[in-house]
Amino acid sequence: TEVYFLRSYPCGFNQDVQIAKRDFHRVVRRAKRQYWRNLIDNFSSSSAVFKAVRWLKSPGAFQPPPLQVDNVVYETQMDKANALRQATLERRTAEDDIANAWTPVSPSRLIPFSPRVSLDEAQCATIQTGNTSPGSDNITVNLLQAVWHIIGTHVRRLFEGCLSAGHHPKPFKEAEVVMIAKPGRRDLTEPRAWRPISLLSCLGKGLERLIARRLAWAAVYYSVLHPQQAGALPKRSATDLVTALIHDIEEAFARKKVATLVTMDVQGAFDTVMRNRLVLRLREQGWPDYLARWAGSFMSGRSARVRYQDTVTPSSPLQCGLPQGSPVSPILFLLYTEPIYRLGNPWGRFGYADDTAILSVGDTVDETTAMASSSIAEMVRWGAANGVSFDPKKT
């Protein structure tokens, strides 16, 4: 089963989505306000008043438990912030990377990717988006919108120059990483229960968003990514993958076959991506050298300070990893892990972001189990050779 979607989002699509979201939230606020007014108007006893007061009473500040890493317990906020930084952002070092990203390659095709940037494209990527949290420069999207008529032409030239030269400016690579508890996680003593979200420059995210949209469209159009690989791609969704998977399983059952499904999860995902390996991967896939250089520049010289509750650590360099919170990180991660979906039987592989499913079809359970075990071993070998590990708890 192949799933192909070639149409990209129109430039004004995101603006329409933002308008619809704003209208939706306005209706929700109005409904909540009316609900409380009706509730108060219908109070008939003092107990009802006290009940409403309890509803409105603040639960107080959230206090996470002590953090435990490798049998060491961290109790102060600063100690926990530094421990989380080491556990989530420093899992890999430059020693895990390859030495040279510019060895000769022979890509099967060269992907057209112009460095030219139009004013409309720069505007669409920079200010026609949600008012996301600013980075350390404190420049918001609202501020950029207010002065766009003055800075728009200069921003366009900046973006085009960055693409042409393969350079990502240093101010765009400084981040404040906020540690946020993952939804549904009960045991907050584990580092894996926390997600590091990078707050980056809104202007820098405009450049990253522009490149991400182009990469996603070209990756689909030129079949760089597997047709059953989704996440951060236009017009591909988890629903599409489930539909394709169910179709293949039902087709196997119709032929009186046995189907076995294995799911695997890349451990750490963005944090495990290494610069030279990513640059080499892009060159092998046929992307222009200036784009590969930009990706290398995007990943080099990064620095971050970690915010945990009310505590902020000093800024220090990062050696590897894509920043969670950057618009371009998801598509770069998909391109980085693209070879996974070419292993073994490619048509039995399905992927969404860092989650992978492998479907094995055969005549008996023993046969499909052996096929699944072989696929897992093949994935683990590829991961060991490429600095990627899989989470055994999610396999």
Give the model's pLDDT for residue 7.
39
Cα separation, 319 vs 324, in Å, equals 15
Q: Give pLDDT tens digits for 159-213.
A: 999 999 999 999 999 999 999 988 876 788 898 889 999 999 999 999 999 999 9
Diameter over CA atoms, the chain = 81
Give the per-residue pLDDT at 8.
Answer: 44
Which residues of the chain have a pLDDT value below 50? Answer: 1-9
Q: What pLDDT shows up at residue 14? A: 64
User: What local confidence, expressed as pLDDT, does residue 361 receive?
Assistant: 96
**DSSP string across 171-194:** GGGEEEEEEEEPTT---TTSGGGE
CA angle 122, 162, 326 (to 5 degrees): 65
- Given this model, what pLDDT does residue 9 score? 45
pTM across the whole model: 0.83
Q: What is the pLDDT of residue 232?
A: 87
**Residue 69: its pLDDT value, please?**
87
In which residue are the tokens 């079809």 written?
Answer: 361
The one-letter amino acid code at 365 reads V
DSSP secondary structure of 80-122: HHHHHHHHHT-SS-GGGS-S-S-S----SS---------HHHH
The tokens describing 133, both together, are 């949290």
